[in-house]
Each structure stands twice: as C-alpha cells, then as structure tokens.
Chains A and B, each alone.
Chain A
C-alpha cells in the first residue's frame, strides 16, 4: 500500500522539550515538504527538500529543523525555540515540483 505516513497521530510535549515528527513515503518522490496548520487557518510552509541531503527554509522555519538523509524520510524536529508549537503538522511529497500529496498529519500539543 503506497503513500505517505506520519507518526504519531497525536503528540504531547512539555514546554522546553524538543520533539521529532516522522514522515515517510514509498512513492519514490524526490521532493518532500513540511507545513504547519493552526486552527481555522491555511497551510504555512516550514521546510522543503527537493533532493537527498539538501533542504530549504520555508516561510516559518524559525524554531524547526529537518534532515533528509534518505529519499523516503523527512523528519521534522520542533525545538524549544519554537514559541507556539501547538498546531497540526502536515507532510507532503511530490515528483520534483509536480502535485504534492499529503500525509494524514500529526497534531502536536504543548502541555
């Protein structure tokens, strides 16, 4: 069953802790993306990667970090420097700059 998986579905974090969100795809897509969505709002781009070992900042990269060591994986770390991390996080992937396909999302709550 091909697609994009994100884990966990729900994540709770204490203030001051770093947390890593997983995103895996078996679609052989070159590009992968991370978005943040706040309640009732649209999607904002955090980071994207068009090739292994390379990634670029999006509109709201501060307080986040990523890595792209494998084509199929693009984990996102939410660091303690992110002041308002509670949000819905969405991962997507695509062939080059073609249509993006999204995962089911991870809802992060800071306690």
Chain B
C-alpha cells in the first residue's frame, strides 16, 4: 500500500516560486504521479502528470528524481489566486492513492 506524505500547509508571497514536495517511498514501477489543485467546494483540477525526470506545462513544472521516491510540484511566480489545496496522486492501472493535500496560502 503506497504511503504518500505531503506538508500540511505552506505560506508564500505573490511573485515567488513555490515548491511543494510529495514523498512516496513505496512507489511502484508503473505508478504515475499526478498533481491536482482544489479550491473550496470545487472539484480538484488537473495540474500536471509525470513518470520520471522533469515535466513542464504552461502552469507548472514537476520534478521527479531518479529513484522516484519523491516528486516536487513547482509553481512559478504565484499569485493570490493560487491559494488552494494541492494534492499528489499515485495512479497505476486500477490503484490510485491520494496524498492528504498541502494548503498553500499566498500572501500579498
């Protein structure tokens, strides 16, 4: 059973880069790593997905070291609207494990 650990909360200021790390020591060979953003009373929104090394899209980057036991979501130049809860998910065929989420608070 995969155990996923994320920091409970993080604070940042507008314009800063934010890095949120997820630990998943028992990640399986076929597990993909996906990150979601959730605002209160809304469904989670897909941010980025990766398997190894680095993935970048228009909103974020995902860094995965060679041993894949952790992953880091990087949000460049955050704004107040990035205040949300960020979830890490491991998914592999018919198994999916969510982390408990990291509440990011962006201050002006």
> A-side interface residues toward B, CB under 8 Å?
4, 33, 41-45, 48, 50, 56, 88, 90, 92, 97, 99-105, 107
Contact = CB atoms under 8 A, between A and B. Distances in A.
Consensus secondary structure, chain B interface: strand
Contact of B44 (A43, A48, A107): A43
Nearest to A94: B91
B63 interface: no
A90 B45 CA distance: 12
A101 B41 contact: no
Nearest to B88: A42
Given A42-B99, A42-B101, A97 B94 contact: yes
Nearest to A96: B93
Nearest to A41: B100
A41 B42 CA distance: 14
B51 interface: no
B104 to A, nearest CB: 15
B98 A43 contact: yes
A27 to B, nearest CB: 13
Contacts of B45: 102
A50 B87 CA distance: 23
